[in-house]
């Protein structure tokens, strides 16, 4: 194939500009980054002609992959790849890569911000003051964050950065639920998720979404939490059974939750989480800063460039025997 005919498509929602990717891939004959989406005119043609796909949240399932004509790489803008059928891509010898290592500071800071906002009831206080109320500080209980038990589900780079930001609050105990993590801090106690949910006051989720971790936080785990527990999720929406979370919050079985990611996105207008004062919501934005966008786009394009150069991606997530 002539290098001048290579085409790279972004599937679904993306970014304001693709100049970064375009500059990196221009030497490989890519005239410009194109966009497409399921249901749009020309989507089938784009799949047939794509040499590489760049995706954020769009679902690249077996049906999509079987319509790819000459694609050699699918690269996710992000870490989780639960929206890509890895086995279907492996069968077609299509490299799938993600972009780990970006946005560590952003996501860990956002997790801390959600935790603080829930603990200090910032969102309802803001609403009350805007409505003319005053002196409402003691209307609902609040609890100090200092000296409490911190629980981390998943202990990768983001969880470690979050822990560093929590250290000034002097956690009394540190519980980690991650069977794959090595070199835990000296003060960490490796526990299972059930123990963590029973004993932690502050719980932050940082695990990937897999068959093993889907609804890791379900009715039993939520029922075991204390009425003072705060749950934060900046990992993947499917880690939590949202119906069970709503029921637990309505029953007062935990203090509150800070949620950035959801089982289905965007969050439905009538989703019951929207109605609960004990929840602080954000729109899957923990990853974002101006710097992280540039870094993410650069890393994704570099993975495509490696494949076009005849090399495997650096963050290859569906390898096959060579």
In a domain, 314, yes or no: no
Q: Which of 236, 242, 299, 303 is catalytic?
A: 236
CA distances from 283 to 110, 227, 265 (A): 12, 26, 9
Record the pTM: 0.91
Asked whether residue 298 falls in the same domain as residue 268, the answer is no
Q: For this structure, is 66 an active site residue?
A: no
Asked whether residue 165 falls in the same domain as residue 182, the answer is yes
pLDDT value, residue 4: 60
pLDDT value, residue 47: 98
Asked whether residue 11 falls in the same domain as residue 110, the answer is no
Helix (H, G, I), strand (E, B) or coil at 223: helix
* 94-106: b (≥16 Cβ within 10 Å) or e: bbbbbbbebbbeb
Q: Which of 56, 76, 284, 299 is catalytic?
A: 284
In a domain, 319, yes or no: no
The answer to whether the beta carbons of residues 284 and 265 sit under 8 Å apart is yes
Query: What CATH number corresponds to the domain at position 47?
Result: 3.40.50.720
Asked whether residue 150 falls in the same domain as residue 16, the answer is no
The answer to whether the beta carbons of residues 191 and 177 sit under 8 Å apart is yes
Asked whether residue 168 falls in the same domain as residue 233, the answer is yes
The token duo for 229 is 């527990």
pLDDT value, residue 322: 77
* Strands, E assignment, 104-226: 149-153, 173-177, 188-190, 202-205
**In this structure, what are the phi and psi dihedrals at residue 135, rounded to the nearest 5 degrees?**
65, 35
Supply the range of the domain harboring residue 154. Answer: 104-281
Asked whether residue 81 falls in the same domain as residue 188, the answer is no
In a domain, 175, yes or no: yes
Asked whether residue 254 falls in the same domain as residue 176, the answer is yes
Q: Which of 87, 140, 265, 311 is catalytic?
A: 265
In a domain, 313, yes or no: no
Q: How far apart are the C-alpha atoms of 245 and 242, rounded to whole Å? A: 5
Asked whether residue 89 falls in the same domain as residue 171, the answer is no
In a domain, 136, yes or no: yes
Asked whether residue 90 falls in the same domain as residue 111, the answer is no
Q: How far apart are the C-alpha atoms of 79 and 61, rounded to whole Å? A: 17
Asked whether residue 129 falls in the same domain as residue 253, the answer is yes
In a domain, 265, yes or no: yes
Helix (H, G, I), strand (E, B) or coil at 224: helix
Asked whether residue 21 falls in the same domain as residue 157, the answer is no
In a domain, 322, yes or no: no
* Strands, E assignment, 222-313: 230-233, 256-259, 279-281
In a domain, 150, yes or no: yes
Q: For this structure, is 236 an active site residue?
A: yes
Mark the ranges of the chain whose per-residue pLDDT is less than 50.
1-2
Count of structural domains within the chain: 2
Q: How many CB atoms lie within 10 A of CB 31?
A: 13
Asked whether residue 246 falls in the same domain as residue 110, the answer is yes
The token duo for 68 is 């790819």
The answer to whether the beta carbons of residues 231 and 111 sit under 8 Å apart is no
């Amino acid at each position: 194939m002539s290098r001048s005919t290579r085409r790279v498509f972004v599937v679904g929602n993306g970014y304001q500009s693709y100049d970064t990717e375009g500059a990196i891939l221009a030497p490989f004959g890519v005239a410009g980054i194109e966009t497409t989406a399921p249901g749009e005119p020309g989507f089938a043609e784009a799949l047939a002609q794509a040499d590489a796909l760049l995706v954020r949240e769009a679902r690249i399932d077996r049906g999509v992959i079987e319509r790819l004509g000459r694609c050699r790489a699918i690269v996710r803008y992000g870490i989780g790849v639960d929206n890509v059928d890895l086995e279907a891509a492996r069968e077609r010898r299509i490299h799938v890569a993600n972009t780990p290592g970006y946005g560590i500071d952003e996501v860990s800071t956002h997790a801390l911000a959600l935790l603080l906002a829930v603990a200090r009831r910032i969102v309802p206080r803001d609403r009350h003051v805007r409505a003319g109320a005053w002196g409402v500080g003691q209307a609902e209980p609040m609890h100090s964050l200092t000296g409490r038990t911190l629980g981390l589900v998943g202990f990768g780079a983001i969880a470690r950065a979050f822990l560093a930001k929590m250290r000034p609050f002097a956690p009394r105990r540190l519980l980690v639920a991650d069977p794959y993590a090595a070199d835990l801090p000296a003060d960490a106690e490796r526990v299972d998720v059930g123990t963590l949910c029973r004993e932690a006051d502050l719980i932050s989720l940082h695990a990937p979404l897999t068959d093993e971790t889907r609804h890791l936080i379900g009715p039993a785990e939520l029922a075991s939490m204390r009425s003072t527990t705060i749950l934060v999720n900046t990992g993947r929406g499917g880690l939590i059974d949202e119906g069970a979370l709503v029921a637990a919050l309505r029953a007062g079985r935990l203090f509150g939750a800070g949620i950035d990611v959801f089982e289905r996105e965007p969050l439905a207008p009538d989703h019951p989480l929207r109605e609960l004062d004990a929840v602080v919501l954000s729109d899957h934005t923990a990853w974002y800063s101006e710097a992280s966008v540039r870094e993410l786009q650069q890393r994704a394009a570099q993975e495509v460039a490696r494949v076009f150069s005849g090399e495997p991606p650096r963050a290859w997530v569906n390898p096959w025997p060579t």
